[in-house]
Amino acid sequence: MRYNNNNLLLYVLTVTTAVPVALALLDPRQTPVPANSTTVEEKRQIPPGTACDCYSVSGPDPGYFQHHHFWDFRQVPLNALTAKGFQFQPATQSADAANLAHEHNAVPVLLKDTPFANDWLIQDWHRSASALFPVPIANSNQNVFLTRSLAGGSSFLAMRTKRFETYSSTAEIETSFSTFMHVSFRIRLRILGHDEPILSPPLVENKIFGKGSEETMAIASTAIEQTPLIQRVASRLPPSVGACVGIFTFFSTTSESDIEILTSDPPNRVHYANQPDYDPVRNIVIPGSQVAVDAPVPWTTWSTYRLDWFPGMSRWYVENQLQASLAYGVPVDPSRMIINLWSDGGLWSGNLTVGDSVHLGIEWIEIAYNSTGEAPRPCNVVCRIDGVANPGVPEM
C-alpha cells in the first residue's frame, strides 16, 4: 500500500476421503489431488459433521490449506444489543434475528462492539502530513460499521473515509492473526455511490488535526424511503474522486501483495501489485511488479475479488475470472491481512473534496490459509472452495 509506511456466494464443497497425505505447509500446491470425490452444495457453510482436514482452491495452481474462516455480514441484526453477541457465520442465525436488519428502528452498529473485533483489529492510528502525503489521515472505529441501505435489503459491513478541512478520517481493519504463510482470500464488495443513503453513525472530527465538529446521523426523509429501489439505482451517482480501497497481505512495505481500487479511475479498473513496485533510485516502476486490469464488472456493483498467494506466484481474480499473475516480489514472510479505505491528497489516492465521503460495502470475507510454525498434518478430508456467482443475493 502506498500510504502505510508506518508500520461464499454459492459454496461448492467437494468432500474427499483419501489415504492420509502430509500437507506441505510452505507450498500448498505440493499435496496431490485426492481421488474418489463427491460434491455437496451448500450456501457458504460446511455440512454439519464434516471434519475438513484441508481446504483446496481451483485455478492454475490448485492449492491446499489447513485452515478456513468465513465472516458473513448479510444477516446481522442492526440492533446494538443483539449484534453484541452475533457470530458472523453463514446461515446460522434465526430468521427473526435476520429480520431485525430490516426493522424501521434499525441503527448502524459499530463493528468494534461485535465479536468480529476479536478476529479483525479496528485501527485508530494517525499520520501527519508530508510532502508526498499532504493531507493528514486518522483512522477511526466510527468508520467501520454494520449498516444497510435506507431503502431496505440485506445488512453489510461499511467502511468510510471522510475529508474534513484539515485531515481525512479513514478506516482500516487488520487480522489479529499475523502468521499467514500463503492464503486464498475472497471478499465480496461494492463501492457505494456518492451520497447513497445508508444508515450511518456520527463521526466526530479528531482534535489532533484542528477543528472539532460532528457529522450528523444520516436520516432518510419519507420521500427517500418511499422511492422505489430501481429508480434509486438508475440515478446513482459515481463515488467521489480521491479515495483508495486497499486489500492486501502485509509484512512490510517490501513484502506485501495488493489489490487497490482508486475512485479516480474508470469504474472497472483495478490495480494489482507485489511490493516494492517502485524504484526510487531510477524513478521508475519496477517491471513485472504491478498491473492495472479492467474487471468484467464495475466495482460499483457487488462482485467478488480473490487473491491467491502461493510460493513464487500471486494471482488475482474478479468474479472467478483470472485477472493477473505476477511472479516478481511474491511475499515470503509471515503476514497479516489488511483492508482499508483512505485519502491523503497524494498522487496515488488523489484529493477528496472537503466534506465528501466514500463508502466501501462488504457482504462477506473468506480466507483459506496456512500458518507458519505449524507442523504438517494428514489430509483425510479435503473441502474444495470454488468462487462462483452468487444467485441468492440481489444486486443493488
Domains along the chain with CATH numbers = 82-369 (2.60.120.200)
Long-range pairs, 259-263, Cβ under 8 A, ≥24: 259/305, 259/307, 259/316, 260/1, 260/2, 261/191, 261/299, 262/348, 262/349, 262/350, 263/191, 263/238, 263/239, 263/350, 263/358
Scan for cell 479516480, then name that residue.
264
> Which residues lie across from 14 on neighbouring strands?
39
Write out the H or E segment, with its range, that includes residue 347.
none
* pLDDT tens figures, 292-331: 999 999 999 999 999 999 999 999 999 999 999 999 999 9
CA distance linking residue 389 with residue 26, whole number of Å:
30
Give the three-class secondary structure for 282. coil
Return the C-alpha torsion angle 326, 327, 329, 335, nearest 10: 80
According to DSSP, residue 296 is labeled S
Across the chain, mean pLDDT equals 79
Where the chain has pLDDT below 50, the residues are 3-26, 32-45, 212-234, 387-396
Q: Give the C-alpha distances (Å, rounded to integers) separating 11 from 28, 46, 73, 391.
A: 21, 9, 16, 11
Q: Give the C-alpha distances (Å, rounded to integers) separating 181 from 56, 117, 331.
A: 15, 22, 9
Per-residue model confidence (pLDDT) at position 50? 62
Per-residue model confidence (pLDDT) at position 96? 56
- Could you give the count of Cα atoms lying within 13 Å of 122 in the half-sphere of its Cβ? 21
DSSP string across 211-278 = ---EEPPP---HHHHHS-HHHHHHTPPPPPSS-EEEEEEEEETTEEEEEEEETTS-TTEEEEEEE--E
Per-residue model confidence (pLDDT) at position 163? 96
| Kind of pairing between the strands at 37-42 and 11-17 | antiparallel
> Which residues lie across from 359 on neighbouring strands?
160
Residue-level length of the chain: 396
Give the three-class secondary structure for 111. helix
80 touches 109 (CB < 8 A) = yes
> Which residues lie across from 294 on neighbouring strands?
269
Return the C-alpha torsion angle 309, 117, 355, 295, nearest 10: 30
Per-residue model confidence (pLDDT) at position 297? 96
Per-residue model confidence (pLDDT) at position 373? 81
Per-residue model confidence (pLDDT) at position 220? 31
